[in-house]
Structure 1
Amino acid sequence: MSENGSSTVLVLVGSLREASVNRQLAELAVESAPADVDVEWFDRLGELPFYNEDIDTADVPEPVAALRTAAARADAALVVTPEYNGTIPGVLKNAIDWLSRPYGDSALKDKPLAVVGAALGQYGGVWAHDETRKSFGIAGPRVVDGLELSIPTKTLDGKHPRESDDVVARLRDILGKLVAEID
């Protein structure tokens, strides 16, 4: 928690596409966060080099240092991701790999984390969300059970998620419950 008593939630988005519904969900998370919650969207996953232990030294590339700093500042994390070919988008998996280091002492170690998102298909990205939870759970954060939101994009009918009262309410509820998990 910060000095002013507010909590910081780091948001990571597994889609780089500007018009992505998942990016829109991240916007909605920023807009609908409770007043005592600062939502920090780290929007530079596309700048991270592929994880390579040879460059994971005291002099890591600047985008990696920025990601790790943002994660260290955060009290919790919200991951918003689509599903690519039934699993985690590569850009997000790469971020997980960087955040898993140093081994056993990652910047998100023991911090609460939730995974939400939207995807084509009738299940809204459930496979990718489950795989993301599994991967992050191994990498160090404490994945909070039951904080799930998988939206089939067709249910939004081409509208921004903020236009769905149900999505707004569910995302706000998830953020509130995620913050309640902060030690």
Structure 2
Amino acid sequence: MTDTRVLVLVGSLRAGSVNRQVAETAVANAPAGVELTVFDGLGAVPFYNEDLDLPGAAVGGADELRAAAAAADALLLVTPEYNGTMPAVLKNAIDWISRPYGAGAVAGKPVAVISVSPSANGAKWAHAEASKAVGIAGGKVVEDVALSIGASHEKFGDKHPSENAEVTAEVVKAVAHLVAATKDLVDA
């Protein structure tokens, strides 16, 4: 039985992305009663355009994203850093799930951010920007989750992040904090 559903949005569209692999690590190590699902359709979501976002209008890709976010109890964002900020695909996803303003699919839901980068910085700027954007969009950013994984090329080499016990433990801890925040919100 699933008690908590977490939608995972990955800011890299590349199939072999280390961010995708960290998201897979989270999914594979989900605690009992928690279902994490990576949304695979971010590449099909058109850039947000209010002219497309009309009541009753079908917007391929965006409709699926909104439905997945609405069905989730919480969101986990996993982001690389592109030119000192989060990737456009992740920002676009946040824009779509933030609408309609004040009642979007992310409104009031706990959100955690994990950033991963080959730089020693660990994509901390992207982490901060994603947290800021999703918080403004109405999500409840879980401040206890400040996981930024730097030097990913040296840390992982040609191995999957799940093969690194320290990183796996950090990802498991981040998911546990997100799930706890979800339960705290329900109990409040």
Distance in 2 between the 1:157 and 1:151 partners? 14
Alignment pair present for 1:44 and 2:41: yes
1:181 is paired with a residue of what secondary structure? helix
2:163 match: 163
2:98 match: 100
Amino acid across the alignment from 1:41: V
Amino acid across the alignment from 1:114: A
How is 1:18-167 mapped onto 2 (pairs within 5 angstroms)? 18-57=15-54, 58-152=56-150, 153=152, 154-167=154-167
Q: Which runs of 5+ in 2 are unaligned?
A: none
Instruction: Please report how far the alpha carbon of residue 5 of structure 1 lies from its aligned counterpart in structure 2 after TM superposition.
Output: 5.2
Distance in 1 between the 2:7 and 2:165 partners? 24
CA RMSD of aligned residues (A): 1.0
Q: Which runs of 5+ in 1 are unaligned?
A: none
Distance in 1 between the 2:38 and 2:120 partners? 28
Instruction: Please report how far the alpha carbon of residue 120 of structure 1 lies from its aligned counterpart in structure 2 after TM superposition.
Output: 2.1
Distance in 2 between the 1:96 and 1:169 partners? 27
Same amino acid, percent of matched pairs: 52
How is 1:3-22 mapped onto 2 (pairs within 5 angstroms)? 4=1, 6-22=3-19
Distance in 2 between the 1:85 and 1:23 partners? 19
Runs of 4+ in structure 1 off by over 6 angstroms are none
* Number of equivalenced pairs: 180
Instruction: Please report how far the alpha carbon of residue 62 of structure 1 lies from its aligned counterpart in structure 2 after TM superposition.
Output: 2.3
TM-score, scaled relative to structure 2: 0.92
Contact 1:25 1:117 in 2 (8 A): no
Distance in 2 between the 1:13 and 1:68 partners? 15
Distance in 2 between the 1:45 and 1:166 partners? 29
Amino acid across the alignment from 2:31: P
